[in-house]
Structure 1
Amino acid sequence: MTLTDARIQDSYPTRITTEPELIEREDPAVWGSDSDGPMSAAELRAHEANGYTIVDGLLSPAEVQGYWQELNRLSRDETLKADERVITEKASGEVRSIFDVHKLSDLVAELVRDTRVLDRARQILGSDVYIHQSRVNYMPGFKGNGFYWHSDFETWHAEDGMPRPRAVSCSIALTDNYPFNGGLMLMPGSHRTFVQCVGETPDDHYKSSLKEQQIGVPTHTDITKLAAEHGIDQFTGPAGGALWFDSNIMHGSGNNITPYPRSNIFLVFNSVENALEEPFAASSRRPEFIASRDFTPIRR
């Protein structure tokens, strides 16, 4: 299938050269039912409506400490410094993210299979799941850079070939999230709208976009429209809390100029029934550490 063919058959066209449009989503955000996992019918309805769910205290304080030590170990690992999976800040050179972390850390690999995590992923997506992407994000105090407004699905669809927004992300806070240290912001309900982005995808776009994304971001006009309609919420609270959010929800974070760092483990679950195809708006696939093509279901 050529790139042109893919775009003709595409329900969510993006990376266009004309005026972008807001497209009504065709797919549900919740595919399972209350009998499929730990979330109640009311919680699933709220997730369908808002596009996200916060689970306070998913990890105990002792578990948080263990994962925090693991993140420190990974960031100091000299053997990883030259690894492409380690993304550094554009200006400071400090570690920004480490991808494929469930393959680099036995502790995170166990977390992926933890019933507190895996059962919710299966329930929301209504099927077996696999890890599309995993990473740890570091946002140090004083100089941690944020992430501009975006929809993950827009990128995963355009550059990875994810057919539909049948994926969910789990962000687990390993530090306290305050309103002032770069906490993640979301527009509740925005997941019902797919926002087209302007500009063709450059070759090897991931090499620059993981540091600072400029292609695959919505216009100021569209962000303003969504904010006016949906408002903006923020994920705050003590370390150990988890944010489950839909792949198409509009979200972003500001810079952290406070002394308080903000770090999290980020796990993306995709339905095995939504396996990646060829990219819908890029000339080649991104590397496996960003977009896994091992669709083997996760087992406990």
Structure 2
Amino acid sequence: MIFTHEQIKTFQDQGYAILSGLLNEQEVKYLRNFFHDLFASEYWKKSPFNSNSIINDIYRDFPELIDLIFKLKYILAAKELLGDQMVCVPECSVHYNRFFDWHRDTAIMEAQGFFTHKDKRHQLVQEGIYLQENKPEGGGLLLIPGTNRGKDRFIKHVYGSPVERTIQKISRAFHISISQRIEKKENLYLPPTKAGDVLFFDSELDHRASFKRHFLGNARIPEIEKFAIFNGFCSTEKMAKDSEYMTIFERKKNCHICG
């Protein structure tokens, strides 16, 4: 077994599991240099779905990365968490100094009326493969264990009416936004991921990027470049299809917003 029984139970109850040492030191160094050069070359401008902090579809554009990432250890770990019929979701990307605040990855699905993930037979899981150590100032995730078993509190703040979104912006200025209330009242957990580790986390888990804040609440960008590769797995084909539909929807929406 890749995971212990205790780790699997923690994943089921608390929503996360760490796979240590997927990548060795040389592989981490290679990928950091590779992605540094990729973003520096402004490769992201080749697709309207990318930005200066994210490049999508990395295995289509760089198939040489597949064997480096999808090692047997990685696949077996995913199967232990999701079952032998698990499916790899066709949504993959590399993040560069990307610091999203508190959210839940399934919010967009629920906002559009998709609730397949609520049935744990159709579980959807994200994996972050980190190329640096996770620290409070950046490098990985900050999460709230166990929130994967609760209701999504972010939908109306992100996908709500214009009035609801305006209220959220005003509350941030007075330091009473949902993100600021979370950090004052809840038990937060900084997963101790190292360079080359994988963090599996339930897509219904409340989380944000790890970062220090400026006075006004926005992320303080660290001096050391932060990279993470994100893949998705789910336990059934139905969940994979719903997830793929929402990926297409989100990309079209973002392209419309960006002009």
Q: 1:121-270 maps to which residues of 2 (within 5 A)?
A: 121-126=78-83, 127-139=85-97, 146-159=99-112, 161=114, 163-164=116-117, 166-181=123-138, 183-196=140-153, 197-198=155-156, 201=159, 220=177, 224=181, 228=185, 231-253=187-209, 254=211, 255-270=219-234
Q: 1:81-160 maps to which residues of 2 (within 5 A)?
A: 81-87=45-51, 95-111=52-68, 113-126=70-83, 127-139=85-97, 146-159=99-112
Cα drift, residue 181 of structure 1: 2.7
Name the % identity: 22
Cα drift, residue 287 of structure 1: 4.0
8 A Cα contact 1:150 1:251, kept in partner: yes
Cα drift, residue 111 of structure 1: 4.3
Cα root mean square deviation, aligned: 3.4
> For the residues of structure 2 that align with 1:225 and 1:66, how far apart are their CA atoms?
37
1:159/1:121 Cα in 2 relative to 1: closer, same or farther (>3 Å)?
Answer: farther
8 A Cα contact 2:131 2:226, kept in partner: yes
Q: Secondary structure at the match of 1:185?
A: strand
Q: Tell me, which stretches of 5 or more residues in structure 2 are unaligned?
A: 161-168, 170-175, 212-218, 255-259
8 A Cα contact 1:67 1:107, kept in partner: no
How many residues end up aligned between the 2 structures?
Answer: 224
> For the residues of structure 2 that align with 1:236 and 1:39, how far apart are their CA atoms?
16
Q: Secondary structure at the match of 2:28?
A: helix
Query: Greater helix share, 1 or 2?
Result: 2
Does structure 1 residue 67 correspond to structure 2 residue 31?
A: yes
Q: Secondary structure at the match of 1:149?
A: coil
> For the residues of structure 1 that align with 2:204 and 2:228, how far apart are their CA atoms?
20
8 A Cα contact 2:19 2:198, kept in partner: yes
- TM-score normalised over the length of structure 2: 0.72
Q: Tell me, which stretches of 5 or more residues in structure 1 are unaligned?
A: 1-36, 88-94, 140-144, 203-213, 291-300
Cα drift, residue 107 of structure 1: 3.3
Whichever residue aligns with residue 128 of structure 2, its letter is S
Q: Secondary structure at the match of 1:48?
A: helix
> For the residues of structure 1 that align with 2:224 and 2:243, how far apart are their CA atoms?
41
1:54/1:222 Cα in 2 relative to 1: closer, same or farther (>3 Å)?
Answer: same
1:195/1:226 Cα in 2 relative to 1: closer, same or farther (>3 Å)?
Answer: farther
Q: Secondary structure at the match of 1:148?
A: coil
Q: Secondary structure at the match of 1:124?
A: helix
